[in-house]
Structure 1
Amino acid sequence: MQLIFKLIAGIVLGILIGLFAPYGVTQILITFKALFGELLFFTIPLLILFFITSGIAALPTNAGGLLGRSLGMAYLSTLVAGTVAFVVASILVPMLTSAGSAAPATGQVTLAPFVELTIPPVFSVMTALALAFIFGVGIAATGATQLKDLSDQGRDIIQRLLVKIIIPLLPLYIAGVFAELAAAGTVFGTLRTFGVVLIMALVLHWAWIMVLFTLAGIKAGKSPFGLIRNMLPAYFTALGTMSSAATIPVSLQASKNNGVTPNVADFTVPLFATVHLSGSTITIVSCAVAVMSIYNGLDIPSLTIIVPFILMLGIVMLAAPGVPGGAVMAAVGLLGSMLGFSETAVALMIALYMAQDSFGTACNVTCDGALSILVGEAAAETTAKAPPRS
C-alpha cells in the first residue's frame, strides 16, 4: 500500500512540476524517465527468460492429471477473462474518453531529455519467450539440475533488481511521465481516462469473481455467495499485501472452509497463486485499451489481433514475478512487440496498472478459491468413476 501512496505522490509531483516549474526542472525528470526506461526495457527480456524458465522447470511432475487439470483451468480462466475485458473496454472506453488526449496540444512545448543513452536488450521479447519454453520444458524432462540452478539464480537476481531498484524508483519514473504530459497540456484528459478505466476494471473484477463462483457453486451444490463470503479474508489480505504469494496461508484456510479437501487445497492454492492471474489480465487488457484510446498513433485493435496477444499474455502470466507490479512488468515486452506501444505509452500503462494493482491481486486470490473448488470436484468425479482395484 505504501507503493500506491508513493505512486500517487509521484503523479501529483509530476503534474505540479510540469505545470508550474521552470522547463529545466521538468527536463531533469524527463531525463530520469528516459534513462530509467532504457534500464526497464533492457531488463524485460531477461525477466521473461529466467522467470518462465524457472517457473516451468519447477512445476511438479508427479501430480499427473491434477496438475494438467489445474493448469488448464487457470489458463482458460485467464483467456476468457482477458477476452471479456477487451470486449467491454473496447465498447465503453472510446465512449467515455477523447481520442488522442495524450498527444501534445497545439502550441505546447515538447521537451527532450538532457542526456540520451541507449541500452539495447540482449535479445527480443519473443526470443526470450521461445528460449524460456525450450529450456523450461527441457529441464523438466531431463532433470538438468545445473541449468535449473542457473535459471533459479538468474530469477533471483532479476527479482532483486526489481525489488531493490526498479520498483522503488517507479514513482519517480511516473513523475517524469506526468511532468511531460502536464508540460504538453494533456494531463487532465489522461487523468479523466484513468478514473474511468479504474472503475471499469474493478467492476469487471467482481463480475468475473461472480462468474467463477457461480460455476463453482453449481458444481459443488453450494451457494456462490456463501463461498465468496468465506474467501473475503483472502480478498482483503491481498488488498493489503499486493501479493498472491503472501496471501497463501489465508487463501489455503479459506479454500478448506469452502469444502476443498486438504490434499487438493494444499496442491492447488500455492500453484494458482503462481500461475492464475485472471484479475491482473483483466486490468492489463482494460488499461491497454485505455492507453490506445487516448494515445495518438495507437488504434484499438480488432478481436483477431487482440486474441493472440491475450494468448501470449496468458502464458507470460503463468510465471509473472510475485512482486507488486510483477504482472505488468512481465507484460511490457508483449505490449511493445505485439501492440506497438512506445516507451511513453508503456509508462502510462505502468502508472495506470499500478494504481489498482492491489485490486487485481485480490481478484486473482479470490478466483483461486473458485478454481480450487472446481479442480476438487473434478478430481472427486474422476475418483468415483475409476474402476475398483482387484
Structure 2
Amino acid sequence: MKKIFNSLLFKVLCGILLGILLGNYAPEWLYRLLLTFQGLFSNFLKFSIPLIMMGLIMPSISSLGKKAGKLLAITVGIAYLFTLFSGFGTYWVGEALFPQFLQGQTLEQVEQQASSLSPYFSIEMPPLADVMSALVFSFVVGIGLSFREESVLTEAIREFGSIIQWLIGRAIVPLLPWYILSIFAEITFSGQVMAIIAVFFKLILVLFLMHIVLLLIQFAVAGSLAGKNPVKALGTMLPAYATALGTQSSAATIPVTLRQALKLGISQRIAGFVIPLCATIHLSGSTMKITACALALMMLQGIPYDFQLFAGFIMMLGVVMVAAPGVPGGAIMAALGVLASMLHFDENMQGLMVALYIAMDSFGTACNVTGDGAVALIVDKIDKKVKSDD
C-alpha cells in the first residue's frame, strides 16, 4: 500500500480530485493562492524546458557515439521506425475515431470566470534560449562530442545532465500533482471539468487497446523476420510488461526485460546491448500517448490542424524521445518543448497533457519495454545474418 500511495499516478489522481473539489468550494483567497502557484510553476517550467532538452539530449547523443558502429545505427534506426509507425498510426486512428467519441464535447479556453480573479503576484522567468535553439545546440554539441575521445567538456556535459535529471526527479515531478491540482481547480471554476474527465476515461480505454494492437504488430514484424512465433514471443515478454506496470520506469525494468529477451533465444551480446539502449531510445508507447492526447485536446479546443503539422510534430517527437530518460514522467517532460514550439500548447494545455500522460504512464511504459524485445529480435537476426555472410 505504501508503494501505491507514493506512486506519481496516485498523487496525480489525488491532485485531480482535490482540484475539482477546490474549484467548486474554495474561498477566493485560496483560489487566488492556487493561481499564484500555477503562474510561478508555469513560468519556472517555461524557463526549465530548454535546459531540460539540452541536459537530456547532449549527454545522450555523446554517449551513444562511444559505442558507434553498424549495430548502434541499426538499433537506433529500428527504434525510430517503430516510433514513427506508432505516431502516424495513432494520428490516423485518432482521425477516424476521436470525432465520434468527442462529438458534442468542446473545451473553450479557460478565461470567462477565471479572468475575474488574478494571482497575488507573478515573477517573470524568461528562458535562456527558445526551444528550437536549444534543440539544435544540443544536437551540434552532442554529435560533436560523439566523435571525440573523453574530454573535459564531455565530463561537464554529463554533470550538467545529472543536474537536469535531479531537477526533473527532485523538483519538477514532485510538484506536478500540485500544478495539476491548480489547473483542475481553474478548469472546474470555469465549468469545463466534465468534458475533461469524460475525455480522460475514453482516451485511457482507446489507448490501452491501441497499445495491444501496436505490440501485436511489432512482434508480427519481428517474428516474421526472426522466424519466431509472434504470439509466443509476445507471451515470453509479458513478465516485463507486468513489471513495467508497477515500476512505471523503463530503466527499472531492464533486468526483467533482459532476462525475458534471453528466453527468446537472443544472444547475450545483442540482448545486453539492445535492451539497455532501447530503454532510452525506444518509446513507441509514449509516442502513441503523446500524439493521441495532443490530437484529442486540439479537437476539444477547436484548434485547426492538418496532417502536415502532425507529420512534422511526430518526426520531431521521435527524435526527442531518444533523449527522454527512462523514469516516470521523463518522456512527457522531454516532449513539452516540442508541444509548445510546434503545436503552440500554452501552459494549461501542457498541464492537461501531463495529467493525461501520467494517468496512462504504466500502460505506455509497459508497451515500451515489451516492444524492446521485438527490436532485439530483429537486431539479433540481422547480426546473425551479417556473421553468416562474412
Which of 367, 371, 382 is 1:367 aligned to?
Answer: 371
Question: Partner residue of 2:264?
Answer: 258
For 1:209, what is the secondary structure of its paired residue? helix
For 1:58, what is the secondary structure of its paired residue? helix
Which of 72, 80, 88 is 1:67 aligned to?
Answer: 72
Question: Partner residue of 1:143?
Answer: 149
Deviations 1:315-341 (A, max 9, x none): 110011232111011110111110011
Q: Which amino acid aligns with 2:96?
A: I
Q: Which amino acid aligns with 1:383?
A: K
Contact 1:102 1:189 in 2 (8 A): no
Deviations 1:76-115 (A, max 9, x none): 1111110111111122222212453243497776532221
Distance 1:336 1:355, change over 3 A: same
1:96 lines up with 2:101 in the alignment: yes
Question: Partner residue of 1:377?
Answer: 381
Question: Partner residue of 2:322?
Answer: 318
Q: Which amino acid aligns with 2:35?
A: I
Contact 2:336 2:350 in 1 (8 A): yes
Q: CA deviation at 1:198?
A: 1.3
Q: CA deviation at 1:24?
A: 2.2
Q: Which amino acid aligns with 2:338?
A: L
List 4+ stretches of structure 1 deviating above 3 A: 60-63, 102-111
Contact 1:269 1:369 in 2 (8 A): yes
Question: Partner residue of 1:40?
Answer: 45
Which of 151, 173, 183 is 1:167 aligned to?
Answer: 173
Range 235-244 or range 96-105, more displaced = 96-105
Contact 1:291 1:345 in 2 (8 A): yes
Which of 317, 336, 351 is 1:332 aligned to?
Answer: 336
Contact 2:106 2:195 in 1 (8 A): no
Range 287-296 or range 125-134, more displaced = 287-296
Q: Which amino acid aligns with 2:363?
A: F
Question: Partner residue of 1:83?
Answer: 88
Q: CA deviation at 1:304?
A: 1.2
Which of 338, 348, 351 is 1:347 aligned to?
Answer: 351
Deviations 1:167-219 (A, max 9, x none): 11111100000000000000011110111111111111111100010111112
Distance 1:27 1:64, change over 3 A: same
Mapped partners of 2:121, 2:264: distance in 1:
57
Q: Which amino acid aligns with 2:372?
A: D
Counterparts of 1:218-237 in structure 2 under 5 Å?
218-237=224-243
Equivalences, count? 384
Distance 1:196 1:272, change over 3 A: same
Contact 2:289 2:357 in 1 (8 A): yes
Mapped partners of 2:306, 2:204: distance in 1:
22
Mapped partners of 1:385, 1:174: distance in 2:
56
Distance 1:348 1:107, change over 3 A: closer
Counterparts of 1:266-281 in structure 2 under 5 Å?
266-281=272-287
Mapped partners of 2:272, 2:77: distance in 1:
18
Mapped partners of 1:280, 1:107: distance in 2:
34
Question: Partner residue of 1:307?
Answer: 311
1:204 lines up with 2:227 in the alignment: no
Which of 280, 283, 289 is 1:283 aligned to?
Answer: 289
Mapped partners of 1:280, 1:104: distance in 2:
27
Contact 2:57 2:323 in 1 (8 A): yes
Q: CA deviation at 1:371?
A: 0.6
Q: Which amino acid aligns with 2:195?
A: G
Identity of aligned residues (%): 41
1:131 lines up with 2:131 in the alignment: no
1:357 lines up with 2:371 in the alignment: no
Give the TM-score, by structure 1 length. Answer: 0.95
Mapped partners of 1:328, 1:107: distance in 2:
29
Range 144-153 or range 176-185, more displaced = 144-153
Contact 2:248 2:365 in 1 (8 A): yes
Q: Which amino acid aligns with 2:274?
A: T
Q: Which amino acid aligns with 2:353?
A: M
Mapped partners of 1:104, 1:146: distance in 2:
48
Contact 1:104 1:110 in 2 (8 A): no
For 1:260, what is the secondary structure of its paired residue? coil
Where do 5+ consecutive residues of structure 2 fail to align? none
Mapped partners of 1:109, 1:336: distance in 2:
23
Mapped partners of 2:116, 2:59: distance in 1:
43
Contact 2:240 2:369 in 1 (8 A): yes
Range 104-113 or range 210-219, more displaced = 104-113
Where do 5+ consecutive residues of structure 1 fail to align? none
CA RMSD of aligned residues (A): 1.5
For 1:14, what is the secondary structure of its paired residue? helix
